[in-house]
Amino acid sequence: MVQTILKIAFRYLLKYKTQHIISIFGLAVGFVCFAFSALWIRYVFHLLHDLESRQPESGGGSEIRDVTPASCLVAMARMPLIQ
């Protein structure tokens, strides 16, 4: 039974070559994108952790300005506070 299934699968691979190549290529590109994004997220978390560990202890923990770019802080200062 397994031999029959493998025979049918091999026939379909030969019959629809282009479709299978495109599908395999798409899966490979998706996997590479996932791997790069996972590495980038890991890098950013380690970078933020290193920034927090280098800050002197002020008793209150990390402030938002320690990890937020200056341009975002300016935009956040213009936003009204929700009470």
Rg, Å, the chain Cα set: 26
* Residue scoring higher pLDDT (43 or 62): 43
Whether 66 has a pLDDT exceeding 60, the answer reads no
* Residue scoring higher pLDDT (5 or 83): 5
Contact (Cβ atoms closer than 8 angstroms) between residue 66 and residue 55:
yes
Confidence class for position 5, pLDDT limits 50, 70, 90: very high
Whether 53 has a pLDDT exceeding 80, the answer reads no
Name, in order, each residue with C-beta under 8 angstroms of 76's C-beta and a sequence gap of 6 or more. 68
Give residue-wise pLDDT tens across range 7-30. Answer: 999 999 899 999 999 999 999 999
- Name the token pair of 17: 């070559």
* Residue scoring higher pLDDT (78 or 64): 78
Domain positions in the chain are 2-78
Identify the pLDDT of residue 44: 84
- The alpha-helical segments, DSSP class H, found in the chain are 2-15, 17-54, 70-78
What pTM did the predictor assign?
A: 0.50
